[in-house]
Every structure is written in C-alpha cells, then in structure tokens.
Chains A and B, each alone.
Chain A
Amino acid sequence: MKNISKLILLSLIAVFTSCNDAIDIDQVGRLRAENAFSSVDDLEAGLLAVYGQLDLTPEIALSANFTDEIAIGFDSGGQGFALYDFVLNAESAAASSFWVRNFIVNNRATVLLEAAENVEILDEDEQERFNNVLAQTHFIRAFSNFELLIYFSPDPRDDSTLAVPVVDFVPEQLTFTALRDTTGEVWDYINADVNRALELSTVEFGGGDFTPTFASVQAINALRARMAITRGQYGVADALATDLLNTFGLADRTQYQNMFLDSDNTEIIWKLERTLNDAYDGQGATGSVFAGGWAGARFAFGSATLDGSPYFEMDRSVFDLLDPADIRFTVNVAPTSVISNDYLNDPDPVNNDILVIQKYIGSEGQPLMNDLKVFRSSEMLLIAAEARAAGPAQDLAGAAALIKQLRDARFGTDQPLDVYNSQQEAFQAILQERKIELCYEGHRYKDLKRLGPDANVGVDRDPIACEIQSGACELPATDFRFTLPIPIVEINANPGIAAQQNPGY
C-alpha cells in the first residue's frame, strides 16, 4: 500500500502539467497583422506611424558634412572626417541611409494604403477623415520617392537615366527584388501619388483643420513646385511657387527668429514636428549621415553654444556671407561664438575662431531639438526666382526682384536690387542666397547638384579650415559624388542591381 502511494505521487508529478501549457504560448501585448487596422481611427493611428518614419536629419547631415556648410570643430572627436574628405562610396552611410529609409517609408505607406481597402466607412465624416488619411499617405509616399529620385538619379531631367525601382505594392515574398526603373518611370509614380493626394485632400491653409505639422493641399503644391524646378519645368514651378509665396508671405524679422524657436509658423508650409519623448528625442548618430535625433545634434553634442561641444562649426564661407544686420546672422551664429578679429592672419584659427551654429537652438526646453522645416515660403520665393532666371524668358530682373524681396524682409530695411548680367550670374546669386537662407536645412547638396554646373559653382570651403584638416577644399558640382551610389546593403540582397551602379562608383 505504501509503495502504491509513492508511485501515485510520482505519476502525479509527471502529469500535473500538460505539455501544451509549455509549447503553446501566446505572448501578451501582441497586435497581429490581421487585427491591426479595422477602423478609420486605426488608419489615423497608422498614418502617425508613417509620419514618424519621415526624417530630414540625414539630408541635413549629408549636406553640411559633404559640402561647404561646416568646418571641423575645435571640439571634434573625429566625427564625419571621411565624408568631409569627400569619401563617398557604396559602403557609406549616406548611400544606405537615403536608399533604405525612403524605401521603408514607401513600404509602410503602401501597407497602410492596402490595409485601408478593408476598412468599413460608416458615415460622411468618416469618409472625409478616411480620404485625408489616404491623401497624406500618398503624399508621403511621393515625398520619399522624390527624395530617392533626387539622390539616386544621375540626372532627374533626363527621363531615360536610371533612378530607383518603382514598387507600388507590398511584395508577397520578402525575397522580392527589383532592378532600377528609369527616371521617367519614377516621375510617373510620384506624379500619380501627388495627383491622388490632391484629389483626396480637403485640408487647406486658412481652414480650421490646417496645421503646419501635417500635409495640406499647400504642402502638396510645395512638393510639386520643388518637383517642377528639379525636373526643369520652369513654368509650372514659377506658378506654383509664386502662388504659395503669396499665400503665406514672408516672415518679418521677429517672426523669422521665432520660427527657429518653433513659436511662429508664418512662413511654414509644412514642417515635421519634433517633441519631447518622441522617437527622435535624443542625440542620434553624431557625425554620421544616419543621423536621426535632434537636428542640432548634427553639429554639437550638448547645445547650440560654445559650451555645447560643437564638433562641427560654421564654415567661414557661410559666415562671410552673413551680414550682422541680417536677421539670418542672428539666427545662425550663436552669440557665444569666438570670432577672430583677423582670421586670415590668426596664428591659432582653431581656437580663436569658433563659429557655433545656432539654427537648432532647441525648443520645449530641450536644447538642439527643433521641428524640421520642410517647405518654407522663402524656399518658394527662391524656386520662383530660379524658374524665372532659367525659364525660356530668362527673366533675370524678375529673379533679382524676388531676391531683393527676401533680403528686404531679412534685413528689415530696403536692400539694393541686384543686376545680373548673365543667366550664370543670376544662378550664382540664387545659389548664394539659398546658401544662407536655407543653410543647415539639408538643401546645399541638392542645390549644387541641380544648379551648380550651370552656375559654375561647386563645393568651395574656407581654405584655412580645410587645409588644417586634410586639404579637401573644393569639389566641382559635376562630380559623380553628387549622385549617391546604390548601397552595398542593397547589392548584397539584389546582385542584379550591381550592374546598374551609378557612374563613378
């Protein structure tokens, strides 16, 4: 009897736990794909995740580090040296960042669009919200494909050149690969999305639901203006840009200053919000095009002051263009900067001339964190000016008038009207104005690629600073490195695309 009781005890131990309890486990807190989107509310939440994928800091980092916006800082820890030396290849962060990031946006947007097909719409109000989700999703997808086009097409004005694969669907298999489509095909894809967005969007500037941190009809049109100037469609560019300039107007000096504290939106057509505790609230990858994080951390570790450990400083080629009477001097040059009285003859320019970049001073109490301005009306003005100078009419005076309009606003006083003796002179003036109006906002690389060859302007750094570093001072805008290479990370997965590598790499 005693034996039997012990045997029963052992058998009980053997069976008191059934095996399924151990091998059929659903982790808690999981949202399966099939349950993710069932209402318009869900789609709106999904749209916020897609928005969250958008980032301008890689453009800001590439443009600053590669062109002539920054010099190596006195407090450098070695950040960005290779890119400053114009080392750019298929292994570079730049190639990978632009390729991968934008294709992920393209994919997430497409996932949302496909999910939307199964959502039931209950009433008219929901229909409008639904339409606006679709409009913004198409717009974001267009925005990202446009970025791919600019950076990877050797010539966005030549439809026959190779750009990037057009993938307007969610691939069934993850092993899916595609070869590059032509620039013309990518333009068609972008235009289709832009047109669909325009059809669906009901949010307009001046309307109650307009907010500069989300895309509106005006943001779509600003994208169209930028697309047009990129593609060389000057008439379209001029019309759209001028219209937007008139709609928003230019900020006055106070508004301009407040715009970079994120407390004024006069001039802002669309910006990406950056706020405390969001996915970008941190330093990101300093000195790398992968970037992420606070925009200001592209230049300094701690704050936009001398004490914020600026690893990149303002290049003298920018500083020398800034007039202290210009509000852009106030905005861009930190008051804590150390400015050499006699820079050209200074025995220790590293320590005696420290130009601290202040464009991203911080907001919400967080140094270096600012909203990312995507489209500003001043950019529209400069697009219009470029379109007039470059258009068939070669309206150089019209371009000069627009430049004056901008400077008047920035100085707060009447500025002289430029006279351009040639189209090239006009282009040079426009490039120069863009260099200071849009500095550290990620434009310079694209501007040099688009306009540099015609203006005969390339990367032209302050010779003292670049000689101290490594002697990498100049690079013509015709250089192959103004088009990014197909990244190695893509070639590893998609070897067929290796044969389509961009020229020079």
Chain B
Amino acid sequence: MKLKLTWLLTLFMAFVIQFSFAQEKTVTGTVTTADDGLPLPGASVIVKGTSRGAQTDFDGKYTIKVNQGDILVFSYVGMKDAEKLVGSGSVYNAVLELDSTLDEVVVVGYGTQTRATSKVSSVRVSAETIENRPNASFVQTLSGQVAGLNITTSTGQPGGNSLVQLRGVASINGNTEPLFIIDGAPVDEDNFRSLNPQDIASIDVLKDAGATAIYGNRGANGVIVIKTRQGGLEQGLRMNYNGFVAFSTLQDNDYNRMSTQQLLRYERDRGAGAGAGGSVSPFNPGDGSPLTDAQIDAAPNFDWTDFFFRTGITQSHTLSLSSGGENASQFTSFGFQDTEGILQQSDLKRFNFRTNVTGKSSNDKFNYGTNLTVNYSTSEEPNSVGTGGINQNFVLGAFQSVPYLTPDDYVNGEQLTSPVTFTNTPLFLVDKLANFSRVEEEVKIVASANFNYKLTDWLSANAVLSADYQNEVFTFARGPLGFNAIFFAGDEDPNSAGTQVTTPGFVDQQTIREFTYNQVTSLNASKSYGKHTFDVGLYTEYFKAHLKSFGFEARGLNPATFSPGDGSGFVDDVAAQDVFIDLARANILSSGLFSYFGSFDYDYDQKYGFGATVRRDASSRFAGSNRWATFYSVSGRWNISNEPFMEDSAFNNLKLRASYGTAGNQDITGFGPFSALDLTLDLFGTFGGYGNQNSIGLTQFANRNLRWETVGQLNVGVDFGVWNNRLRGAIDVYERKTTDLFQTRPLSAVTGTTGQSFNTGIVFNRGIDFQINYNIFQSEAPDGFNFELGLVGNYNENELQEIPSPNGEIPGLGRNGGKLGEYFTLRYAGVNPANGNLLYLTADGDLTENPDADTDRVWIDKNIIPDWNGSVNFNFDYKNFFLTTQWNYALGVDRFDNDYAGLIDPTNVGQFNFSTDILRAWQQPGDVTDIPRFNATNLNSFGGSDRFLRSADFVRLRFASFGYSFPRTTLENTGFTSARVFFNGENILTFTEWRGFDPETRSNGSREYPTPRTFSIGFELGF
C-alpha cells in the first residue's frame, strides 16, 4: 500500500514539474564493493532529498525512475555512502567502500562494541598499514600510526626489540610497555621477531583507563590487542601470495670523518701515530721519521664503514589459504623471511606457520575458535654493540677505524697479539668476524582457543584459553684461532706465565624455555528494554608463567675439530690446567596472577552510555606483603550527533567521552614475569666465595612493604566526523598519575647496602592525543583523484613528585617538579681563547676552567624523552595507483652525541680516526673556536658536562609506499582475482640537527647499531 502511494506521488510530482522540461526516466546500474569488486545485493538506492528508493537485487542490479539533476545515494550497512549525479546517461554504477570509521567494531576490554557505542579512547590500525612493510617486527611498523604511542627502535638488528610507550613514561624502574594480546593470548612484549606481520588483521590500541582498567594487573601502560586473519563462513577457497625483496643500507651521518690523507697529516702535525712514524701497526710501523707528503698521498684510503656495514637484502614470502563451509572456516598461512642486517653477522631467518579455525553449532548457540602459530627463527646477533671493546664491537670498527689500514693488513689472530695496539682496531674485528659466532635460535608458539555458549538469547558463557611458548637457544663461540682466544688464553703451566695453551677459546650455550598460560572465563549478559540496553560481564582470569633454563660454558677448543655449537672440539679439564674447567648453570622460576572482575555497560538510544569495571587482582610477587589490589574505572559518552538538534549540522558524528580509572603495574622491575619474584624475603645464597669455596652469604634484603604501582588516568575526548566524514578524527586530553613508584631509595652504606627499591613517589604524564584525517580531494568517480591528509600527534609532559631523597632530587632520575631523566650536569661554555682550555659555568653562571664536578652541576630541563611525537601522512590515489607517505616527527629530544665525542677526542691520535672538526682546534692565544687545545690541561678532568648534548629532534619520511593495483578487467582469464605491485621505503629522508646515523634512538650510548634505510619492491596476488 505504501509503495503504491509513493508511485502516486511520483506521478503527481512529474505532472507538477512538467513545465520545467525535466524528463523523468528510468536508470539502471550495478552496485559493487570496492575491496573485492563483487556485486552487492540489498544495497539501497535513494534519490537524495526524497523517499523514492530501490534495492539492489541478488546480482547487485537496480532500476529506478529519476529526473535529470537528481542525486542518487547508494548505501549499505558498514559501507560508506556513495552519490551519483544523474545526467543524460542511463546507467549509473556505484562502488561502495568499507567504512572504517563509522560503525566499525572496536575492541574494549575482553569484548567488542561498535565504534559509536564505545566510551573509550582507542585506535584501530588495520592490516592495510601493516602488511608488506619490510620490518621484521610489526611493532616497528606501528611507529607514527597511533597518537600517543611512541615507538623507538634503537637497534638495526633485524627483529630487534623496540621500546613501546603509550602516553609518556609512567614508571621509573617498572615495565613501561603496553600489554600485548594476540588472539586472546598475552605475549612477551619484547619478542616479536619470530611472528609474521602478514598474518595480522587488525591492531587495537587501548589508551584510556575506561578501556584498560579491566586488564587490571597488566593494563597500566595501555593494551594492544592484535587479531589475526580468519576465514569466512560460506566462502570458497581463496589463496593469497605476498612477497617482497628489500634492500637496507646505513643511514647518513654528518661527522665528516677524515680521509687517510687528512688523518696522516694531522698525525704528523701532532707527532703521534703512523703519520709521525710512531706506529706499531702494519701501516708504516714507525722508525720515528714522519711521512713525507708523497708517502701520505700514496697511502691507501679504506672506508671501514662500508666494510662492517653492507647492503642487507631481505626476501619475504607469505602464502595464505582461507575457506569456509556452513559451520566452520579456516585460515592457514605459511611464511618465510630472510633478512640480512646491515651490520656484518647480523641477520634473521624465520619460518612461520599459522592455522586459525572457527566453527559453530548449526543452531548458532555454540561458537568456538582456535588460533595456532608455530614459528622457528634463527638470527645472528653480534654482541658488545654499543661498547668500547675494540676487539668486540663491529660498530666501533666501522665508525672510528683509521682509514690507512685495509683488510689486506690482516694475517691471522696470532699475529695481532704482538704488538697489541688500538690502531689495529679494524683488524681485531676482521679477526672476530672470522673466529666468533653468536646465534639465537627460537621456537615460538602462540596458541589460543575461545569458546562461547549462548545459554539463552541474552546470557552466554565464555572461555578463552591461551599459551605463549618460546624456546630460545643462544650459542656463542670464540674460536681457538682468533685473537681474542689467544690474547685471553691461560697458560700451559699453572704456576707461571709464558707458555700459552694451544687450545684456547670457549663455547657458551644457553637454552631458555618460557611458557605462559592465561585463561579467562566469563558469563556475559546483554538485554534491551526499549531504548535501554544493559551489558553485564563477570570474569575470572588465571595466569601462570614458567621458566627453565640451562647453559654451559665449555672452555678450551681444539682447532682441528671445533665448530660452533658442536662438542667435538671440547677440551677436557686436566688437573694441571684448571683453565679448562667447564661451567654449568640452570634456573627454574615461576610466577602467577589471579583475578576476578566485573563489567557493566548501559546505553540509552545510542545517545548516552555509561560503563564501569571493577577488578580484584592478586600477584605471586606480592604474596609476602600486599598480594591483593583493586582497580576500577568509570566511563561515559554522549553521542551529540544523535540528538535531534544536531540533525542539520555539518557533523555526521560528534561524540564526547570521559573516563577515569586505575590500573596496576605488577612488573615493577620491568623485566617481565620472571623478575622480582620474591623481593619480600631476606635471602641468603650458597655460592663460590673466597677461594671459590662453597660459602653462604647474604643476597637480598627484604622489602616487606612491596606493593603494586598504580596508574590512575583521567581522559576526556571527542570523536567527530564532519561533512560526511570528509573531516574526521579524535582528540583526547589525559592525565596519568602513577603512584607507589617502585624506585631506589638511597640508603646509608652502614646498613650494608646503598639503596633499596621501594614503592614511593609520583610521576605525572599529562598530554593531548590527536588523530585527524581530512580528504582534501574526494573524487566522485571511482577512479578519480583522491588526496587525504592525516595528522597524528601527541604532546606529553612528564613531572616527578615525592622523590625519595631529602632535597627532592636524585641525579640521573630527576627532581621534584622536573621531568623524568632530566640531565644534571656541568654546563660547558666553550673554549678559552686565551689558552685553549675548556670553560665551564659554575652553578652561579660564572666562567671557570675548574668547576667543582659535584657542586657546579645544575638541572638543565632536558631529557631524552620526546615532548611531541607523531606523524603527518599524505595519501594519494588515482585510478589504480596509490601513494602513501608517512612523515614521523619527534621534538624535545636531547641526547649526548658520544660518537662525535669519540671523533674529536685528541687523545685518540694514532689510534682512531677523527672528525675534520678537530682541525680547527685552538692553536694560539686569540683563537676563537669550539675545539679545545689538544692538550688542554682540563681536557680529561671533568667527564660529565653538556658539551656533547645535542638536540635529536627530527622530521623523517618514515615510510612511503607507491603501488598499482591491476584492474579486474585486466585480470580476467589470468586466473588471478587480484594483483598489486608496490614499492616501499622506510627511513627515506631525515631532517635533523643530529649529526649521527640515526636520531631516533633512545640511548645516550655510542657506537650503537643504527636502524637502516630500506627500499623494497613486492607484489601481492590473489587466486
């Protein structure tokens, strides 16, 4: 009846407007989806501003009567609306895109809600922005994608650990990283090298207490919930292949290191080293006479950076298969990746297997899912990176070696033992490359299963069981023929020195098995009464972690049969040669958590929402003191855009959110489930004491008041979408307050110790997160030009209070009212033009050459933690091309450039290379320069000053991707359903004042392994 009336009206209207020459006509078309191009049945087609409409049929086709000039609006649940202006044509096809912002389902504490009814601050990162990127660990890929999430990778080791911090640093000694949950399994947050990023379907980053409080005992630093890909029900077999090849190189530096010719002349001027004829290294072993200009010009000029660093090649392949029947679906993937690090002897090879299965009973009452991934990886990781070990650290060799030595100067390890000179640094390292190996092998399994049974239509019982298993085997071997083995070898004769053993070296092997089990069981109810909807959940959670390790060090290796990790070459201990005594070690540790908790959610008409959680937690760590703790949260929302008064506004979405809650940090020392296990006890130990005889001695002073660190967080945020989501985003302001910080309280040495960690003090993190996207160009046509701008940012202020020292400050930590890790140091004031000595400021600001290294230090309001960080993104697509660029930035980072310090240290003359800056060192009275006299009297007297403190702020093109998706028409008859090629780059371009290789390093060390610049090419095929 209603339909007929519409038709009548249409006729009537047609009659009325006939004078305008408008001509009603019938148009047809097909509606398809953008992601797979398949027809979309049941989509609605409406003439804008009218109630005239039609629905697409099973083939996605529709027919509708319209007037020229009408606008057709195509819509479908979960898709973005599309509009078409009716012109003279009669066929109007529409392609609908998935709407990733509106009615998306988001993860909130052990469950999901729609984006609209979510009351919390969270960000979803979808597979699109993770897949195909040439980072071995997916965590690196998240960098810059989530407002407030700071990810710093301080090593270029493939698959190396990244520091992940959400909204500032909320603990001094405890864990500061979020809880990672993969398919319901809490996993080791520091080890993702074995997992395949291509399996990830989505990552939800939960930020405010409303979202994290329910994770109670481990939610204090945010929660990152990762879902892997699943098959769909009623889906034929789909196969997908992704592959890429990547090339990584060392990033640039501005240190201006000297060439051989510059260096030898400098040495000659200084009267030291090979240039002055005073060297004992293979190049020009000194006869005391300086080199002539001709000799210097003829000297070899070798770049050791290019020797120890290389172009690392990565290849990655992932094949996945998914399918589904009526009651079950599966997703299976196989992955292989081989990544060469840019530093010699660093790489990662891994094999991944995953199978995810879902199923249900035919009456839909029982649902289950299992997720299993089994992975094996092997990686070479050089040790001693970041140290000053000239015979150990390849990076030192790369950055500081003298260029007049070449690899041809290396003969063997024995020869390097006489004479031993620092000048031979690169040769020691060439020797180490040949005689040292360090390999980590790992088996990692993450398994989880979830069960859901609907007891009634409003009540269900759920269980999630999960396990994280990793077995790591570290093997490192110092071969018997290398310099290090010979140099540190013992002697044949136990009572004298001089007759060296012929079978030195050692093999050290360590196996660590870690198993964690987690289980959540719950009853969940959901019921609506008219416009009122209630959700209630009751939960228990059980967590247990077990570690078992075994290791040995076998000393003495026979070169005839030695091979790393194999025992054939082991030399037995003999009575006269105790240097061959082997060492064994083993460890067993356990820890656990138990919790029960509840959640309550209320919604009124999709306009107002309120939620609350409360949770009781117990940790085995605090069994002897404060085992139980309670955490809670409240949250609310107001969907302003759903109010009648907003009907005509430009806002299609406007939501105000607020939450406050608490969460606990039980990992108070920050070393994971196997650290700080029984700090509440006074302990003695049995160990090798005096003369290595068995002894009993004190090993731990009890802390009888040990408790949880608690983070309380207030968050107020707004989600908005304007002009049909053309402009959309979220802005949040927050304050996080950590109380009961577990930190070291200085103690008088007369008590037998100088400090004990206990729960005291407060740190605040206050800031703002924003994540805004704007479609600057939005084409009507499906293959038109689109240009989207994205802004991701976080500003965070850190403030310490109640520092446990009488004057409210602890050097190295900070001061009351100051920021965490604020530098407390002497202020360097330049070079005295009168004598070339270094000048400092006293505490009062007066110039001095002899500051008091104790009392003239001041707080300088700088630290290494960024104030601002985030990214700016520009995304373009046109026809089937796309270009994505992500510019990351960090501001307010100050680091000591100790690599530079090493390159202008005049005492290194004859041993290491220099920056050409040293050529402008002070020479005579009146010289105004920034480099002191080479033998300034106070050059080495005062170690700590801000002389080498530099800003490490940067803007960097962190990621760019350019690609082409082959149109469906091209692929017809090829057997492929989709095909895509892409070129990716990481760390392409950096703008910074920092002179070193990588400003983005959370370290004040030197000779570290920088992250690389990577370019890759890859393709993706669907069958």
Question: Chain A: residues with CB nearer than 8 A to chain B?
Answer: 3, 6-7, 9-10, 13-14, 17, 19-33, 36-37, 42, 45-52, 54, 75-78, 81-82, 84-85, 87, 89-91, 99-100, 103-104, 106-108, 111, 165, 167, 170-171, 174-178, 213, 261-263, 272-273, 275-279, 281, 302-304, 306-309, 347-348, 350-352, 361-367, 468-472, 488-490, 492-495, 505
Contact = CB atoms under 8 A, between A and B. Distances in A.
Given A174-B747, A365-B579, A347 B421 contact: no
Interface in B980-1000: none
A91 B689 contact: no
Contacts of A49: 687, 689-690, 695-698
Contacts of A361: 496-497
Contacts of A272: 690
B706 to A, nearest CB: 13
B754 to A, nearest CB: 5
B619 A45 contact: no
B806 interface: yes
A363 B576 CA distance: 12
Nearest to A85: B941
Contact of A37 (B365, B591, B696): B696
A468 B939 CA distance: 13
- Across the A-B interface, give the 8 residue pairs with the lowest CB-CB distance, nearest first: A49-B697, A22-B592, A107-B752, A51-B690, A81-B940, A48-B695, A365-B490, A493-B746
B586 to A, nearest CB: 9
Given A13-B521, A24-B623, A303-B497, A45 B746 contact: no
Contacts of A14: 463, 521, 540
29 contacts: A10-B461, A13-B521, A17-B519, A24-B623, A27-B590, A27-B678, A31-B686, A33-B682, A33-B684, A36-B684, A46-B696, A52-B689, A54-B690, A89-B852, A89-B854, A106-B750, A108-B697, A176-B751, A178-B748, A261-B496, A348-B272, A348-B288, A351-B279, A364-B578, A365-B490, A365-B577, A471-B935, A492-B810, A493-B748
Given A7-B455, A23-B592, A30 B683 contact: yes
A100 B543 CA distance: 41
A276 B749 contact: no
A366 B579 contact: yes
Interface stretch (B13-21, B79-87, B412-420, B526-534): B412-420
Given A25-B591, A104-B749, A470 B935 contact: yes
Contacts of A100: 749, 754
B701 A174 contact: yes
B930 interface: no
A37 B684 CA distance: 10
Contact of A52 (B588, B589, B682, B690): B690
A108 B463 contact: no
Given A87-B941, A281-B692, A308-B420, 6 more contacts: A10-B463, A25-B677, A75-B422, A89-B852, A175-B745, A495-B807
B937 interface: yes
B858 interface: no
B494 A365 contact: yes
A82 B943 contact: yes
A276 B578 contact: yes
Contacts of B807: 495
B752 A104 contact: yes
B501 interface: yes
B573 to A, nearest CB: 10
Given A19-B594, A85-B941, A365-B490, A278 B748 contact: no
A46 B461 CA distance: 57
Contacts of B521: 10, 13-14
Given A31-B685, A470-B937, A489 B701 contact: no
A6 to B, nearest CB: 5
B407 interface: no
Interface in B539-596: 540, 542-544, 577-579, 581, 583, 588-594
B749 A27 contact: no
Nearest to A87: B941
B696 A31 contact: yes
Contacts of A25: 590-592, 620, 623, 677
Contacts of A304: 497
Nearest to B685: A31
Contacts of B542: 17, 19, 22
B905 A13 contact: no
Given A49-B697, A78-B907, A279-B689, A307 B420 contact: yes
B787 interface: no
B587 to A, nearest CB: 8
A3 B460 CA distance: 12
A275 B683 CA distance: 26
B943 A178 contact: no
Contacts of B619: 23
B694 interface: yes
Contact of A103 (B276, B690, B749): B749
B529 to A, nearest CB: 26
Given A10-B463, A104-B752, A364-B494, A350 B278 contact: yes
Contact of A493 (B455, B588, B755): B755
A76 B419 CA distance: 14
B57 interface: no
B942 interface: yes
Given A277-B692, A365-B494, A176 B540 contact: no
Given A21-B592, A273-B691, A276-B581, A362 B750 contact: no
B594 A108 contact: no
B603 to A, nearest CB: 27
Contacts of A7: 453, 455, 461
Nearest to A50: B697
Contacts of A84: 940
